[in-house]
Structure 1
Amino acid sequence: MGLPSATVLPLLIVVAAGIYYIYNEVLQFMSKSLVRNKVVVVSDAVSGVGTECAHLFHKGGARLILCGTSWDKLESLYDSLTTDADPRETFAPKLVILDFSDIDSMEDVVAEVMECYGYVDVLICNSSMKLKAPIQSVSLELDRNIMDINYFGPSTLAKGVLPTMISRRSGHIILINSIQGRLAVPFRSSYAASKHAAQAFFDCLRAEVEEYGIVVSTISHTFINASQPPQVEEPVPKPNALAAFITSQLTHGVRPSVLANEIMHTVNRKRKEVVLAHPIPRVALYLRSLLPHFLFAVLAAGVKDSVLGEQMQ
């Protein structure tokens, strides 16, 4: 006797959900096993995303080289990783002081990174300095500092590990960038400019090193949301409706744990380009190419209403 038709759809939903759960668990297991014994460098490892990456790759058995500006924070991260860890399954991380704002030190930093294991399998360029201000109020010194941290630092580090990757004909370089490497919004001129520059550099690098079996990936995300969901505030008087709607879509952000998992998947699937954004920012990317005048009008209206200028990252 067949099942009643009313129970077929719920049953199919339950079965599909079960299959999807098992599929994700298998992918998660495979992701961890594929990074085992790989030498993985994480810059700005003491940030929210960097810390999540460190824990994820450490559990997967990677040989980590963790970089950051604060030795105390690096040691604290080291302790959190090694406490109760099984030495038969994991490796104690190497720690390297790295400050992208000090470009003159990069040559020594690269040498120290390479001395750890003699080569690098995966380089995760995770660094960012944000700034929200009108263009006319940003000094040249601040512009240069942002470019050092967001562009010159990651590009210099990538150049440093490149020779051994070319000689070994393998390697993976990942830039954790921003959606503003593709789409600039008001009051983020210096930040957006540095992210555009980084995007262009790594796009060029991808094409140049493909013949050597080296993968270059960029992950473009909206802002990192490490805080609790904000409370509902009083509405801005007479806002531009479309600008306010775009703002509401962008305030969700990306959780550090979600981004870290995407980085792990990118390493294992060797994806060259990833965009982590809600539908509205994705649509804005298409509008920038197809209907730029419309997008410019929306952004200008947002600035006038002081909605996008305050909320967009």
Structure 2
Amino acid sequence: MERVVGGGALPFILTGVGVLLLYRIFVRLRQGASVQGAVVVITGASSGLGKECARVFHAAGARLVLCGRDAARLQQVVQELAARPTGSQQQMFTPSTVVFDLAKADMVDRAAEEILKCYGQVDVLINNAGISYRGNILDTHISVQRDVMETNYFGPIALTQALLPSMVQRRSGHIVVISSIQGKIAIPYRSAYAASKHAIQAYFDCLRAEVECFRIPVTVVSPGYIQTNLSLNAVTADGSTYGVMDKSTATGWDPRDVAHAVLKAVRRRSKDVVLAGPLPSVAIYLRTLWPALFFKIMASRARKERKPKTE
């Protein structure tokens, strides 16, 4: 009887091993999808995560269009990339630059035309530019809330909608947006920022469903804190600059790791990527599965802070 059972089980074991091997091969093939020669547009490319994405995608052989408000800083990134050894035999391309302010709606359509003139198409659009906020809602003027929304929400969707028709016409392209863990959970004294990221999540979730028929993937990347100047440059209740490096930001993700995660998401055509530690990940599920407890925790946090916290 033992021989019969063993003999009967062996084919199932071998089949399972075979399926596992095939799955691993499939995953590796997806991971290895090349961006060599692809036209990749990156907003907010002069510093922080945008600059790291420029480095990673340039090293992967992409044709870059770097966007930002400061022409000199963008050109400095171009020079740094040109001088950077890649250690690869693949062809490298000198990045192009397009200077514009994403928060100014009247500049976006013109910028989209300039972007398309660089290479005639856009294969990957990475909406990265953004601004953070620290403030008490009671003290925050509505104009500050609007300014954050202009940069974090209206700017990215305006650029996306300006470039989308060319992707639809070609039935090819990939849209990526760098959101935040705060696009999934709301934290006290981050109202404008969290609201803008919640709006981004909803908009691009809708877009993903609507453009699937055109074979255009949409990826939302939601990191936790990243070691950038985001908190230093954040606006406060009166519109002034926060100017403080939060502890959570200083000890956050290395932007190089996040940039590599973005590249991997593009290669895999991932839909929704969360880059966060255990506590934020648990908080996301808690907000959905046990909202009453989540709200109590956030209320307790708000009582402890009373004002924007230097985390």
**TM-score where L is the length of structure 1:** 0.80
1:34 aligns with 2:34: yes
Alignment CA distance shift 1:250-1:117 (3 Å): closer
CA deviations over 1:157-188 (Å, ceiling 9, x no partner): 11111111111111110010011111001001
CA deviations over 1:167-217 (Å, ceiling 9, x no partner): 111111001001111100100111111111111110000000000000000
Letter of the 1:159 counterpart: Q
Letter of the 2:66 counterpart: L
Letter of the 2:167 counterpart: M
CA deviations over 1:133-168 (Å, ceiling 9, x no partner): 000211121111100100001101111111111111
The Cα shift of 1:253 comes to 2.2
Asked whether the equivalents of residues 34 and 268 of structure 1 are also in contact (C-alpha less than 8 Å), the reply is yes
Question: Which residue number corresponds to residue 294 of structure 1?
Answer: 293
The Cα shift of 1:83 comes to 2.1
Asked whether the equivalents of residues 153 and 200 of structure 2 are also in contact (C-alpha less than 8 Å), the reply is yes
Alignment CA distance shift 1:219-1:122 (3 Å): same
Letter of the 1:70 counterpart: D
1:218 partner SS: strand
The Cα shift of 1:248 comes to 9.5
The CA RMSD measured in Å over matched residues stands at: 2.6
Distance in 2 between residues matched to 1:108 and 1:287, nearest whole Å: 43
The Cα shift of 1:309 comes to 5.2
1:219 partner SS: strand
Question: Which residue number corresponds to residue 213 of structure 1?
Answer: 215
Distance in 2 between residues matched to 1:64 and 1:281, nearest whole Å: 33
Distance in 2 between residues matched to 1:250 and 1:154, nearest whole Å: 23
1:132 partner SS: coil
Distance in 2 between residues matched to 1:220 and 1:191, nearest whole Å: 13
Alignment CA distance shift 1:78-1:251 (3 Å): closer
Alignment CA distance shift 1:40-1:249 (3 Å): closer
Q: Equivalences for 1:1-313 in 2 at 5 Å?
A: 31=32, 34-83=34-83, 89-226=91-228, 252-306=251-305, 310=309
Letter of the 1:69 counterpart: R
Query: Runs in 1 of length 4+ with deviation above 6 angstroms?
Result: 247-251
The Cα shift of 1:298 comes to 1.0
2:196 partner SS: helix
Distance in 2 between residues matched to 1:257 and 1:88, nearest whole Å: 21
CA deviations over 1:89-126 (Å, ceiling 9, x no partner): 20110000021121111111111111111110000000
The Cα shift of 1:47 comes to 2.0
Alignment CA distance shift 1:101-1:143 (3 Å): same
Letter of the 2:124 counterpart: V
Asked whether the equivalents of residues 103 and 150 of structure 2 are also in contact (C-alpha less than 8 Å), the reply is yes
Asked whether the equivalents of residues 170 and 214 of structure 1 are also in contact (C-alpha less than 8 Å), the reply is yes
Q: Unpaired segments of 5 or more residues in structure 1? A: 1-22, 228-246
The Cα shift of 1:307 comes to 8.7
Percent identical among aligned pairs is: 40
Q: Which is further off, 77-86 or 129-138?
A: 77-86
Distance in 2 between residues matched to 1:80 and 1:248, nearest whole Å: 29
Distance in 2 between residues matched to 1:250 and 1:284, nearest whole Å: 18
The Cα shift of 1:85 comes to 5.7
Distance in 1 between residues matched to 2:178 and 2:93, nearest whole Å: 24
**TM-score where L is the length of structure 2:** 0.80
Distance in 2 between residues matched to 1:173 and 1:135, nearest whole Å: 32
Q: Unpaired segments of 5 or more residues in structure 2? A: 1-23, 230-245
2:309 partner SS: helix
Asked whether the equivalents of residues 49 and 228 of structure 2 are also in contact (C-alpha less than 8 Å), the reply is no
